[in-house]
A and B are shown apart, each in its own frame.
Chain A
């Protein structure tokens, strides 16, 4: 007789019967666990999708490897750039004098917008992303695309029509003449250039992309700055060679020009730098999303493991009977596993459905628009790993429990008494109220046989849940502190003044009297911020100059070593030093070429985000603080940039940013045709992203509390049902229904208090450590802070969760009847 047609067939019958009997519980449990696991898997997959977004976007849009700005469109520069070594393809965009018109005149509010056209760039190479509509047809002069900022400022939407005039440029901001061409254009697309999406506050510019057909026949002066995107034969590996060659060509060319003529510029944007910036900005979002996902998945797996252990024990009576009828322990184990396996398989199916369904919600955050393949995505790796965790672990737990019960076999029906808890005995002797003693007994004595409830494992999982909760709160309060305390990301000033987007200079002779005369500024510090290099690695640097009042204290935040005191000393960002494998005390080479010099690293600092717009700027963990005597190590920006191109400001309580901006635009320090901007706190994008990621904290707290309430409720229902005989006895001993309810409520409170007593310190330690790691990776000040009010609220929440979880079971307990319990005791179907 084959096993399959004998005992195997019986195992199948018993398993089917068990599934029929507990089918609804299987479906409900599976759906609940699957939902939590699916959310977790979706978040982990979403984190991976978000993390890989920008590289995928670059690949999908045939992105350039490097972008060179030679200055105004110039046929000679155009030829030189296109013939640089290893250039596979080159295309440019160019700023044009194509301005929105109203009543025959350019619209004043849109004078700061950036109108541009291309030779096909953004329509083929560097393909622009769209927030709506379609890309313009370069053969139709009446079509434009605008970015979201432009659309907002100009009150435009898809299909909006606007008059655009093409003008000849004038020198030094003189009024424009008559338009050479006026065209009514239609907004056919809301575009999102990489800069629109990944840029920080400084770089956000309203942009309008006019069709090349509109600019056909326009005067030469209508074309301004141009940017060439170059695709190179060996990608980023060729960039250094190309840039070096371009600098040589520019220097050679510029030597032939009169001194007052600007010549070709050497502004360079390396795509790899942009990729690093985005990666850094996305990191907090990816980390928090991934952490949330892992927590949700772990919670689901723990819930599943606990539930499956419970499910096996609930079915243990039947398997025990089946063993009496002749099933071996192995066969009984298989029967015991039917419900757990069905539940986790159901959970797995639900989880996959939820994870795939939610995948269209990712990538998360503002970068989502760059997704080259939006919509549903199946992350096979995450799904496989998630399913493995969701199915294997709980089934393993269930198998161990089932095997133990089966090995105990028929003896399970007559197992001996366990030693009563000494704690319970001590509490009882100390004169505690009977419901409290009963609560404690039901909590620490799990019962035996069919009355067994895994209260100890629930207690442990409650402690784990509260630990996670406190960890989340400690981490979240540090995220909030990061957002609210700018010094944590190196911003020690109240604001900053930039001229011409950081490319204009502030002459101290005319700037400081203006600053000193203002009553709404109580301190200032002149800063030179631009690109330099350390040991050949490009980075951004800052040099601090004259100051007044509070300005002297607006320096970077030192986190190790000391500030530089003399020429030849520098302080660097932690990531900068790490990338150089250098340490405090080491000597490194600052700058390149003629300006290069050896300097000593005296410390690491969290640096403020400073530098010109569209340029590589210092970041909390990246950049270098240089003494004025080493200023020559900065790359030259021609007539732009340092020595002083940023003024850090200290505001008085009466300062008004709008007033300051208005007055700065008339400042004596401005070069003709330029403007100035006063900014408040300038947040690096990674800090902004981190702060926004912190908003998901409430969802995580709610999830954790929800899991805690549910787990507790299921346990207490099991306690009330499986130990109804105990309750019946309490009733015969004189417990009123109210006292029975109180016993269960007390049990809920005991779980909550015990979990809090252990979970609070554990969570605080874990939260602080996690924050340190996170802050170090982000490059901000790592010292953790503890906000007690949210912790207090969390503990109140835990206690309320304990009460909430005990509510329904306590009502069931209050209805316990002795006779019913006695009858039930004799019937295994109880």
Chain B
């Protein structure tokens, strides 16, 4: 850890250096990442964009510790992600990572409140302290009145807001979102992006993967990927100006 801390510039929450990942699909090797590099400062909101198969989701999975890189190094808040066991990665996620999926991945057997409480309890927060925070988060995200509801009874937008609340339960260093509006209608999508904007304003570091230019406009920086490599990191506004509106 000490070595990683020495190499991480101050204020940088995420450092991805020379990450490579190849996996097999239908017996064919797919080189998903071919030496990706990325850094994110604390409080930054980056949107990763690129064509299908460019490695966006693979990069997100590697940062979240959901997959192992073949080569390269990833650090979050000075802690090395790469080269850890599954259990070490699980503990790292408790401290640093919140994840929002395209298809919510909510636990249907639990109420909305329990879904939000769970990550905090997993991280060791006493339930008595986790519950009020979970209620606050639900209120903050506009689903406070749905605390006792089962996720399956909520609309798509409400479900995604619930998923975001859950991702924020442990006050993560880094909030990761993989196509968070992909399963929502435009109204739900706007609601969710507004939430991300507010969270960013509140200082939350966010890394979002999307192929939607309109969604990317909410971010402070656009990270473009192609063929397994990160190409650029440009301010979002510039991209939005030149973007073809999503149809």
A residues lining the B interface (CB < 8 Å): 1, 5-7, 9-10, 13-14, 17-18, 20-21, 318, 321-331, 407, 409-411, 413-414, 416-417, 419, 826-829
Q: A10-B122, A17-B114 are in contact. Are A322 and B23 (CB under 8 A)?
A: no
Q: Which of B1-56 contact A (CB under 8 A)?
A: 23-27
Q: Which residues on A sit within 8 Å (CB–CB) of B93?
A: 324-326
Bound Cα distance A323, B170 (Å): 15
Q: Which residues on A sit within 8 Å (CB–CB) of B139?
A: none
- Among the listed stretches B104-112, B208-216, B239-247, which one makes contact with chain A, having 4 or more residues with CB under 8 Å of it? B104-112
Bound Cα distance A331, B166 (Å): 19
Beta-carbon nearest neighbor of A323 in chain B? B90
- CB pair B121–A10 under 8 Å, yes or no, is yes
Bound Cα distance A360, B103 (Å): 56
- CB pair A318–B109 under 8 Å, yes or no, is yes
B183 contacts the other chain (CB 8 A): yes
Bound Cα distance A9, B183 (Å): 32
Q: A14-B107, A326-B122 are in contact. Are A829 and B152 (CB under 8 A)?
A: yes
> How many Å from the CB of A823 to the closest CB on chain B?
9
> How many Å from the CB of B129 to the closest CB on chain A?
11
- Among the listed stretches B61-69, B140-148, B196-204, which one makes contact with chain A, having 4 or more residues with CB under 8 Å of it? B61-69
Beta-carbon nearest neighbor of B66 in chain A? A410
- CB pair B103–A828 under 8 Å, yes or no, is yes
B221 contacts the other chain (CB 8 A): no
Beta-carbon nearest neighbor of A326 in chain B? B94
Q: Which residues on A sit within 8 Å (CB–CB) of B86?
A: 323, 328-329, 407, 409-410
Which of A13, A416, A827, A828 is the one whose CB lies under 8 Å from B24?
A: A416
Q: A20-B109, A321-B107, A827-B104 are in contact. Are A9 and B27 (CB under 8 A)?
A: no
- CB pair A416–B118 under 8 Å, yes or no, is no
Which of B65, B104, B127 is the one whose CB lies under 8 Å from A9?
A: B127
B119 contacts the other chain (CB 8 A): yes
Bound Cα distance A741, B61 (Å): 39
Interface pairs (7), CB distance under 8 Å: A9-B121, A10-B121, A13-B117, A14-B107, A321-B105, A327-B90, A411-B66
Q: A325-B93, A829-B152 are in contact. Are A7 and B124 (CB under 8 A)?
A: yes
Question: At the interface, is chain A mostly helix, strand, loop or mixed?
Answer: helix
Q: Which residues on A sit within 8 Å (CB–CB) of B61?
A: 410, 414
Q: Which residues on A sit within 8 Å (CB–CB) of B106?
A: 321, 829
Beta-carbon nearest neighbor of B68 in chain A? A411
| Bitwise interface map of B from 180 to 197 toward A, beta carbon under 8 Å scored 1, else 0 | 000100000000000000
> How many Å from the CB of B100 to the closest CB on chain A?
11
- CB pair A324–B64 under 8 Å, yes or no, is yes
Bound Cα distance A17, B104 (Å): 18
Beta-carbon nearest neighbor of A827 in chain B? B103
> How many Å from the CB of A332 to the closest CB on chain B?
8
Beta-carbon nearest neighbor of A823 in chain B? B183
Bound Cα distance A828, B106 (Å): 8
Bound Cα distance A326, B122 (Å): 6
Which of A1, A5, A9, A324 is the one whose CB lies under 8 Å from B66?
A: A324
- CB pair B118–A322 under 8 Å, yes or no, is yes
Which of B23, B25, B107, B108 gathers the greatest number of chain A CB atoms within 10 Å?
A: B107
Q: Which residues on B sit within 8 Å (CB–CB) of A326?
A: 90-91, 93-94, 119, 122-123, 170
> How many Å from the CB of B27 to the closest CB on chain A?
6
> How many Å from the CB of B114 to the closest CB on chain A?
6
Beta-carbon nearest neighbor of B167 in chain A? A325
> How many Å from the CB of B111 to the closest CB on chain A?
9
B102 contacts the other chain (CB 8 A): yes
- CB pair B67–A411 under 8 Å, yes or no, is yes
Bound Cα distance A419, B28 (Å): 10
> How many Å from the CB of A724 to the closest CB on chain B?
16
- CB pair A826–B118 under 8 Å, yes or no, is no
With A6-B124, A324-B105, A409-B66 known, 5 other A-B pairs at CB within 8 A are: A6-B123, A9-B121, A318-B107, A329-B86, A414-B67
Q: A411-B66, A413-B66 are in contact. Are A13 and B123 (CB under 8 A)?
A: no
> How many Å from the CB of B116 to the closest CB on chain A?
11
Q: Which residues on B sit within 8 Å (CB–CB) of A331?
A: 122
Q: A325-B93, A326-B93, A829-B152 are in contact. Are A14 and B66 (CB under 8 A)?
A: no
